[in-house]
Amino acid sequence: MSKNTREFFARPVVEAGINRWDWALLPLVLAMLVLLGYGAAQMARPFELGDVLPLSLDPWQLPYYLLRTTLRMFMALAAALVFSAVFAVLAAKYRAAEQVLVPLLDILQSIPILGFLSITVTGFIALFPGNLLGVECAAVFAIFTSQAWNMAFSLYQSLRTVPSELHEAAQVFQLSGWQRFWRLELPYAMPGLLWNMMMSMSGGWFFVVASEAITVSNQSIKLPGVGSYIALAIEARDLAAIGWAIGAMLIGILLYDQLLFRPLVAWADKFRFEEGGTDLAPRSWLLSWLRRTHGMQRLAGWSGQQLQRTLLLFRRRYDGTSVRARPAVPSPLLRRAWDALLAALVLFAVWRLVDFVHTEVGWAEVGHVFVLGGYTLARVLVLIALAALVWVPIGVWIGLNPRWAGRLQAVAQFLAAFPANLLFPVVVMGVVHWHLDPDWWLSPLMIFGTQWYILFNVIAGASSIPSELRFAAQNLGVRGWLKWRRYLLPAVFPSFVTGAITASGGSWNASIVAEYVSWGDTTLRAQGLGSYIAEMTARGDFPRIALGIGAMCVFVMGLNHFVWRRLYRLAGDRLHA
């Protein structure tokens, strides 16, 4: 223990400055620590493959299930935050890394969660033999795959669109790359990143059923959690249990919105890029409470200093004023060598793909799969366009009205978290009763859980518009379509593109659930790539599963390269200050 630490904890209560607000906050902190310790202990229980974990539809078990699910989601969120920071810095600052990482992220966001689980669950179980922690890590990793991609894209987009005057200021002060990230780029990206963290939590709820019901070695493992509770209720056709699950989700979202995200959004408002303040800044009762404490603030300050010292161990040993702090110009020869290596790897992958198709599935099956991919592509494009028409105006209005943003924050998180599985009873019964065409009426399920990426990113973009720009538009009397074309749309366009990319990738992923819907003994199929992958997964046909996932990756990468990536460049080159 360091000298400062011993001095801090050796001070008497009065000298440390602990006041009544500290004592009032203490029960909440202790309760959270007790719940965290209890949940962590339950995640590390002895377990052997084949053991049956007890699950019940008793509503009194839901608080415990909610604790287990929420812990998994926050563990995955922490891992996604670290991944996003590493990805965004490498992709935004190094052209060679960008050439690999951005297409790789396109591929990763198009791979279904079931695909990640089938590859990783055996390895995680082998890491922790005789312990439930291996299965828990597999579930956390599955939730991570539903959270990380939009956070990584958001931070990458923010780093690419930092205003030029801030870059010039960093050059004037001769900040190193490490200093520039912590003092300029991360604070600038913080408001948008927080909204995407909220969206990631909601995205984790959307796929929580697939994350907690794991199949390995022909055995189904249902971890205690809200997702497993929902899966059990769907199997039993218990509508009352589904209602209890929805209520538990709502309570959980309200709790972590008030205890975490609302204070963070209010705190991050100070990082908005503008010269003057605003009277409509977001507020949080918990943040106001924390600011009135003395002991908690001292403890938080000491923890921040220790974290800063730890991070400084990884920085380069220069102060940012030397020649080494200046950006290095890469060698043209190294660039050509790197491009040649990437081209060789692509040719090798194409050769292996052709060999796989020829020996395992045949070219006729490939043509059939790409026709099905065309159906899913049409659904994705139409649904993204409709979602943009609806949610861009609403997101701009919410972002420009912080008071309403605070009131609707938890509502938006709950709507985004609502699992599509819970709509299956209504959809299946409606399609069967009225003899509707599944190709049309199952399509909205694809966008139900992914349209919120557009809404959350547009809210983040609109809320970061400088107040002086808003006042200038008001003073000039800019109204109607001219206001949208000259002011609002350019301001939120980079954030919209980020939301559209992640919504598009999420829609392809959700097509596996939306185009192949089951409720009890009734199964509905819509023609498309998602239903093909789901059907082949049910059969256990691994070559065709790989073909379907590979085709989905091709469609997602092509759409991102020819549509979204060009819009990204447009946002970076023309539409930011």
Is residue 295 one of the residues assigned to a domain? no
Q: Are 201 and 210 in contact (CB under 8 A)?
A: no
- What is the distance between the alpha carbons of residues 313 and 141, in angstroms, rounded to a whole number? 28
Amino acid present at 137: C
Which two structure tokens, joined as six digits, stand for 417?
């978290």
Per residue of the chain (577 residues), what is the pLDDT tens digit?
A: 445 444 444 444 444 467 777 787 788 888 888 888 888 888 888 887 777 788 888 889 999 999 999 999 999 999 999 999 999 888 888 877 887 888 888 777 767 666 666 667 777 888 888 888 888 888 888 888 888 888 888 888 888 878 777 777 777 877 777 778 888 888 888 888 888 888 888 777 767 777 787 765 566 778 889 888 888 887 787 878 888 988 888 888 888 888 888 888 888 877 776 554 555 567 777 888 888 887 777 777 777 677 666 666 655 544 444 444 445 556 677 777 766 776 777 777 777 777 777 677 778 888 888 999 999 999 888 989 999 999 999 988 888 887 777 677 677 777 777 766 666 667 777 777 787 788 787 777 777 767 888 888 888 888 777 777 777 777 777 777 788 887 788 888 888 888 888 788 778 877 877 787 766 667 778 888 888 888 887 777 778 877 888 888 888 888 877 887 788 777 666 554 4
CATH number at residue 228: 1.10.3720.10
> Phi then psi for 516, rounded to 5 degrees?
-140, 90
Give backbone dihedrals phi and psi of 220, rounded to 5 degrees, phi first: -95, 125
**Any domain includes 321:** no
H or E segment to which residue 458 belongs: helix 451-463
pTM of the model: 0.77
Torsion sign (Cα): 494, 500, 505, 510: positive
Return d(Cα 211, Cα 462) in angstroms, integer. 33
Does 287 fall in a domain? Answer: no
Q: Which domain holds residue 186?
A: 20-272+334-573
**Which tokens go with 277?**
């303040």
Q: Where do the H-state alpha helices sit in 11-132?
A: 13-16, 20-43, 62-93, 95-110, 113-127
Q: Is 430 within the bounds of a domain?
A: yes
Cβ proximity of 206 and 249 under 8 Å: no
Query: Phi and psi at residue 160, in whole multiples of 5°?
Result: -75, -20
In single-letter form, the type of residue at position 560 comes to: N
**8 falls within a domain:** no
* Closest C-alpha among 109, 122, 264 to residue 191: 264
Residue 288 within a domain: no
Could you tell me if 141 and 124 are in contact, meaning their C-beta atoms sit under 8 angstroms apart? yes
- Among the listed residues 209, 206, 203, the one whose alpha carbon sits nearest the alpha carbon of residue 153: 203
Position 9 in a domain: no
CA atoms within 13 A on the CB side of 37: 6
Question: Is 300 a domain residue?
Answer: no
Tell me the Ramachandran region of residue 392: left when phi exceeds 0, alpha when psi lies from -120 to 50, beta otherwise: alpha
Looking at the structure of the chain, the number of domains it has is 1
Q: Are residues 271 and 186 in contact, defined by beta-carbon separation less than 8 angstroms?
A: no
